[in-house]
């Protein structure tokens, strides 16, 4: 069923659309497009999962234990997932509660606002007032610094070509016009959350509930695996961290080998499976971390 007939079936009223096919005439059929081996648009499905905080297995421990268990229900790196959630909550709290806080605004002013990644995440919160107040304040600071800059810093006894070469070899040294900004406050919040969750993971990994959940997961991305191996409290923890990641990487290698094989002209009639398309995204996430996390 399609077109107007489908609309009536759903809403109970006919839909009159200019150029729409008559309900008495069959719609032209569009031949299905056969995905090519280079069609990598694999979608990801994440099942909704929530912790029962009344469960004594969780309520008797600190919240990070339950949060890690919740994050391990996803297919991605649990620390990436939790860090991204921390930043989302931080930015939402800033927009809703802290945008008029004097100390918070001073911290942001000293940092020239958020870094590129977190500034664009702030825009995604769609809070026009928070963005306007924040960046009008920062622009005012930058205007004062630029207006008070001394042009004399550009004077030099060194010929211009040699000075330009010297600047390039020093990594394009910035002009002494603007003050050196502090680090992004959202990045600092993210770093603290990553350290907290990595510490909790290595502390509680001996717990059977979390251990079983971790063994059934895809492990950590390389960024957080390095942190976890450094924070491991005993050799058994190191062994578990390594075993789970090696197993996940081996599975990815199998799928990637099939992607490479199917790119050959001899296998041009074979489609990529969903797991093979998904592996293209997963392998990047596993090496550099979740998108927009770092």
Residue 63 near residue 276, CB atoms below 8 Å: no
Give the H/E segment covering residue 124.
helix 116-124
For residue 48, tell me if it sits in a domain: no
Its domain, for residue 90, covers 64-145+183-288
In this prediction the pTM is 0.72
Residue 13 pLDDT level (bands cut at 50, 70, 90): very low
Using the predicted structure, report yes or no on whether residue 45 has a pLDDT greater than 60. no
pLDDT at 170 over 70: no
The Cβ of residue 124 has, within 10 Å, a number of other Cβ atoms equal to 10
Question: What is the pLDDT at residue 95?
Answer: 94
Window from 51-65, 165-179, 206-220, 252-266 with minimum mean pLDDT: 165-179
Residue 173 pLDDT grade (very low, low, confident, very high; cuts 50, 70, 90): low
Q: Helix or strand or coil: residue 172? A: coil
CA dist 213 → 148, 187, 217, 250 (Å): 58, 29, 6, 19
How does pLDDT run across 50-83, given as a tens digit for each residue?
667 677 777 778 889 989 998 998 888 999 999 9
Residue 230 maps to a domain: yes
State the CB neighbour count (10 A cutoff) for residue 287: 11
Q: Are 108 and 185 in contact (CB under 8 A)?
A: yes
What does the radius of gyration of the chain's CA atoms come to, in whole angstroms?
A: 27
Q: Residue 6: inside a domain, yes or no?
A: no
Neighbouring CB atoms inside 10 A of 103's CB total 8
Count of structural domains within the chain: 1
Looking at the domain assignment, is residue 9 inside a domain? no
What is the pLDDT averaged over residues 131-154?
A: 87
Both tokens of 137, joined, read 């304040």
Q: Which of 142, 122, 147, 141 is nearest to 132 (CA)?
A: 122
Examine the pLDDT at 203 and tell me if it is beyond 90. Answer: yes
Residue 18 banded pLDDT, cuts 50, 70, 90 = very low
> Is 264 inside a domain boundary?
yes
Which pLDDT does position 166 carry in this prediction? 63
**Which pLDDT band, with edges at 50, 70 and 90, does 9 fall under?**
very low
Are 222 and 245 spatial neighbours (Cβ–Cβ below 8 Å)? Answer: no
Q: If pLDDT is split at 50, 70 and 90, which confidence band does 249 have?
A: very high
What average pLDDT is seen over the chain? 80
**Per-residue pLDDT, 60:** 75
pLDDT given for residue 161 in this prediction: 73
Helix (H, G, I), strand (E, B) or coil at 291: coil
Q: Cα–Cα distances in Å, from 172 out to 116, 153, 181, 184?
A: 20, 15, 17, 22
Please write the tens of the pLDDT for every residue from 78-117. 999 999 999 999 999 999 999 999 999 999 999 999 999 9
- 61 burial type by CB count under 10 A (0-12 exposed, 13-18 middle, 19+ buried): middle
Q: What is the mean pLDDT of residues 171-175?
A: 59
- Binned at pLDDT 50, 70 and 90, residue 6 comes out as very low
Query: Is there a domain that residue 159 lies in?
Result: no
């Amino acid at each position: 069923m399609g077109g107007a007939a489908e609309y009536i079936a759903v809403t109970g009223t006919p839909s009159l659309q200019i150029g729409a096919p008559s309900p008495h005439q069959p719609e032209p059929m569009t031949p299905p497009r056969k995905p090519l081996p280079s069609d990598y648009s694999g979608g990801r499905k994440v099942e909704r999962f929530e912790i029962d905080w009344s469960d004594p297995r969780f309520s008797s421990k600190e919240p990070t234990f339950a949060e890690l268990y919740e994050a391990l229900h996803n297919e991605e790196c649990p620390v990436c997932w939790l860090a991204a959630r921390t930043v989302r909550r931080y930015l939402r709290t800033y927009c809703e509660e802290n945008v008029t806080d004097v100390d918070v605004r001073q911290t942001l002013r000293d940092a020239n606002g958020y870094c590129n990644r977190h500034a664009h995440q702030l825009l995604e919160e769609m809070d026009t007032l928070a963005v306007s107040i924040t960046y009008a304040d920062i622009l005012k600071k930058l205007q004062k610094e630029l207006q008070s800059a001394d042009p004399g810093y550009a004077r030099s006894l060194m010929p211009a070509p040699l000075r330009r070469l010297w600047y390039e070899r020093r990594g394009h040294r910035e002009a002494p016009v603007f003050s050196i900004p502090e680090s992004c406050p959202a990045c600092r919040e993210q770093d603290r959350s990553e350290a907290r969750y990595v510490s909790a993971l290595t502390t509680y990994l001996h717990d059977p509930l979390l251990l079983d959940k971790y063994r059934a997961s895809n492990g950590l991305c390389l960024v957080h695996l390095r942190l976890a191996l450094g924070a491991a409290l005993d050799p058994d923890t190191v062994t578990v961290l390594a075993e789970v990641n090696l197993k996940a990487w081996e599975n990815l290698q199998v799928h990637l080998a099939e992607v490479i094989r199917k790119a050959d002209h001899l296998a041009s009639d074979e489609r990529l499976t969903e797991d093979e398309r998904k592996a293209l995204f997963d392998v990047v996430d596993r090496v550099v971390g979740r998108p927009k996390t770092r």
